[in-house]
Amino acid sequence: MATDSDDTLPPQGRFTRMRKLAGLSMQVGSEVLKSGAKRLAGGTPELLGKGAAEALVSTLGELKGAAMKLGQALSMDPDLLTPEVRQVLARLQNQAPAMSHEQVSRVVREELGAPPQEAFREFSREPLAAASLGQVHRAVLHDGRAVAVKVQYPGIADSMAHDLQNLGMVVKTVSLASKLMDGSAYFQEFRDELLLELDYRREASLARGFAKSVAPLKDLYVPEVVSSHSTGRVLTLELLEGLTLKDWVVTSPSNEERFRVARQLILATYGPFFLAGEIHADPHPGNFMVMPDGRLGLLDFGSIKRFSPRFVSANQRMFQHAMRMESMDVLGLSREVGFTVELPDAEAEELIREVLHIAGRPMRTTPYDYATCEITRDMRNHFARNAPRFLKIKPPAEAVMFFRSTGGLAQNLRLIGARGDFRGVYLEVAELLG
């Protein structure tokens, strides 16, 4: 039975949260070292065991906020973890420990001026999903519309600020110690974007804007915002029926169905970016809904990122050249995007061209099989082999959220594992540019 205690709220205090993460780091770090020793001895290649993964879920789920977002990102990487461990970590995508109904009622009453049972005709006591900043409840408005109500965790703003303060200290220390790379600008971009997600009024506005950006893409759907029941800490949206991507992939869909959803994900990422200069930058599988009518529903709009015209324009031209299989001024376009280069031009061009070559495999090869896709692994190896040189090729700060989105797309496509004419899908994206 839930009680009106603080047991289900994120732990408060910068040093309390730091202490919990430090304890988790020791436990997980010990297991990673053991795993490394086993690999050297020719044993198991897994990075984490199930026990360490359970510890991650327990602690990061309790902490919520930025710590939980880190766990969500880790759960998406197919090359670091075994399927069993990824399945454990996937619980962080929308199944965090829930806050009590009394706490939910308190926030709703403070924000909407009435408790849930009065503000709504029906309001489920059990959460539909629980995530990093808030949890979602199924409800029905007085006019009969079914809705999803996202209620922010009390104290999560302070928790997020403390997490980012701790992480900022790490970034600053590493930047001062390294003469090669100052990560402060990238961390500031990431920090600012995460803190903006706390404002549900802003998210409501972004959802309305994103609906307009997605409107030309008929296979995609953005739920309607219910303004009368949305405030700074409560967001009410039209309820979408279906399965989240992470639940859908385990239902053994056919390759035809997998290809259809994979195509929709590609359009959901690149369509709004090329058409309207914005992108969904929180691409974990809990944020996409495979709907019964065949459309792909998009969820969670706090991390919609809007880019500068220069960034979008240069990426459009780079993409068009790649799809036409034309030669391009790789270095010139990279500089137009906003990259700064501190290497000899020929050396930098060779490194960037290889990045584009690896990333562009599905755009050149047909059919392409994402079940055996090694883009993420090969990209990671390319960066690792050339790390000192890559530190002298610096992307603009706004690229952080672009890479977060496109990197997540690659991992989701690998998760779906469809085989088919993906070059045709990317040509469809290119047609959006005219």
The residues annotated with a catalytic role in the active site are 282
Distance, in Å, from the CA atom of 304 to the CA atom of 405, rounded to the nearest integer, reads: 10
Cis peptide before 154, with omega less than 30 degrees from 0? no
Q: Which residue has the tokens 């990560």?
A: 183
Q: Give SS3 for 58.
A: helix
Query: What are the phi and psi torsion angles at 278 (to 5°)?
Result: -140, 160
Phi-psi region of 136 (alpha: psi -120 to 50; beta: other; left: phi over 0): beta
Neighbours of 330 (CB within 10 A): 19
Q: For the packed helices 50-63 and 65-75, what is the interaxial angle rounded to 10 degrees?
A: 150
Tokens 């979602």, residue located: 136
Q: How far apart are CA 224 and CA 227, in angstroms?
A: 9
Which amino acid makes up residue 84? Answer: E
Q: Which of 105, 104, 282, 79 is nearest to 193 (CA)?
A: 282
Burial class of residue 315 in the structure, from the number of CB atoms within 10 Å of its CB (0-12 exposed, 13-18 middle, 19+ buried): buried
Q: Quick one: how far is CA 242 from the chain centroid?
A: 20
Cα distance from N-terminal residue to C-terminal residue, the chain? 58
Instruction: Name the helix (H) or strand (E) containing 60.
Output: helix 50-63
Residues facing residue 393 across a β-bridge: 341
Joined tokens for residue 22: 């430090």
- Are 286 and 93 in contact by the 8 Å Cβ rule? The answer is yes
- CB 304 within 8 Å of CB 278: yes
3-state secondary structure 370-385: HHHCCHHHHHHHHHHH
Contact 283, 409 (CB under 8 A): yes
Q: Report the distance separating Cα 298 and Cα 378, nearest Å.
A: 29
DSSP lists the bridge partners of residue 148 as: 138, 237
Look-up of token digits 């990317």: 426
- Report the amino acid identity of residue 131: A
